[in-house]
Amino acid sequence: MKKFVIYIFLFFLADNALAQNTFFNIYRTHQIETSFDAIMASDGSIIIVGERTTTIPEDKVCGLIMKFDENGNFVKEITLVNQKRTFIYNIKKVPNYNNEFIIIGASDSIVGDDYYSSIMITRIDDQLNMISQNSFYPIKNYRVFPWKFTFINDSTMILETGKQIVAAGSPPISLMITEVKLPADSIRSFFSDSTIIRIPADITYIPKSNEIHVTYYGQSIDNDTSFVKILRLDRLLNNLETLQSPSRAQTTACTTELNDSTYLLTAISYVTTNNGSVRAISAFVIDAYGNGLNGIKYYNHPDTILYGGFSENAAIVNNSVFLTGVYNIDPWGVPYQSTPTWIQITKLDMELNILNHYFYGGDAAYYPYCILPASDGGAFITGIVWDFQLPKQLDIFVMKVNSDGIIVNVPENTSFIMSEALVYPNPAGECLTVVLSQLYTTATFQLVDISGKTVLMTQLIRNHQQVDISGVPAGAY
């Protein structure tokens, strides 16, 4: 079989965007690390929270808190270690405290034959100095997964937690919603039926209606059978009703505040095409009472799976919305799939019209977990990357795009690909696949040899099209 190596050259027109700082860095270590969430400090630095372990499957896990400067350079880290496992999932700025942050997680331990899991609340400053650490709910023979939380004020928060009995097989994960008075006083809680699967996704406080909206996966409280749900609770955590999410959303659900009465719900939904049902990224505006307003769905091609980014996949940046996705994902192989993925960054206006798409990756399996607005109009993204080539590595990446979603200062020796279009496989055999941004329905494909001669030119009439290169001599193009 003939082999072709394709070099892709990208040219972007960027005026004032060139002045914006951008980067793409991978923090390589010999350990296994995961980034779940991040937040930006007042000085422009980034604090990332996640986990670190040394073995697959995980044996002993410690919580990981890392700081990167505004250029994506590693500054320092601290770890939270317990007897068995320490998990940390979510970080938020404390209201009215510029440089203090709350981190939620869980601390697991074993006493004799019994397994204990406690919710852990850690307060740090922007230099990663620990101000306080407290735990509560030490539940015997249960695991707790405190996934997300939202502040009511600077001393009260509502915490969304998954709870699972320690037993053989895969017992159901149920919901626990808790009002917490800082530093760690549990005021009241809402519990779902522990025998029915209800997995936490996100939580939002709605000031206008004084409600808490809990997004989760599983059956409604009334036991009907669709997937992503919105549970409405009043301020005292009484159940008001459970609503089906717009367009029957399936997974990677995330809520992002728009104002005091609306928020954006992003997730994976299904779209019916001539080739059957296709996974699509969906974004819907939700009002104070859980009703879906306007929305959008988009996908690249029925043959390749597009997922939304994990954990925090949307950011409101000035008058735009940035959404992250994972293109070419294998849902059953995450995070150790053996094929490359691309981070897909989509910019929309506030009416949810698509402005542009960009793809980053292609040399490894990338999974974005968090996107944050940057003060200069760009966005910061962090997540994990799995190098499926030897040596196998699961590491944290940090990247910053400008207000157009572009990285403008790509190092010459970088291995990832950045483009509004994807061309694969690379190296290629007899055929290439070209994927265009959804903004373009037609384009011209040119294959140019290293002397600058065009050896193949063809028109692309679809967003996803194959190009026959069997008549082209083997070489580098």
Is the C-alpha dihedral spanning 435, 439, 442, 446 positive or negative? negative
Per-residue pLDDT tens, the chain, 477 aa: give them: 444 444 444 343 444 444 578 899 999 888 889 999 999 998 889 999 999 887 665 567 889 999 999 999 999 999 988 666 788 899 999 999 889 999 999 988 878 788 888 899 999 999 999 999 998 877 788 888 899 999 999 999 999 999 988 887 778 899 999 999 998 898 999 998 888 888 999 999 999 999 999 999 887 655 554 588 999 999 999 999 988 888 778 888 999 999 999 999 999 988 887 777 788 899 999 998 888 888 999 887 777 888 899 989 999 999 999 999 999 999 888 888 988 999 999 999 999 999 888 889 888 999 999 999 998 899 999 999 998 876 677 899 999 998 888 887 666 556 556 566 666 666 666 777 776 655 556 677 777 777 778 877 777 766 667 778 777 777 777
Residue 460 is predicted with a pLDDT of: 72
Residue 437 is predicted with a pLDDT of: 55
Q: Output the six-digit token pair for 356.
A: 């542009």
Q: Report the chain's terminal Cα–Cα distance, integer Å.
A: 17
Residue 46 is predicted with a pLDDT of: 95
Model pTM score:
0.85
The C-alpha atoms of residue 365 and residue 358 are separated, in whole angstroms, by: 16
The C-alpha atoms of residue 187 and residue 242 are separated, in whole angstroms, by: 23
Residue 438 is predicted with a pLDDT of: 54
Q: Output the six-digit token pair for 439.
A: 């903004």
Q: Output the six-digit token pair for 142.
A: 């249960």
Residue 213 is predicted with a pLDDT of: 96
Does residue 200 have a cis peptide bond before it, meaning omega lies within 30 degrees of 0?
no
The C-alpha atoms of residue 231 and residue 448 are separated, in whole angstroms, by: 55
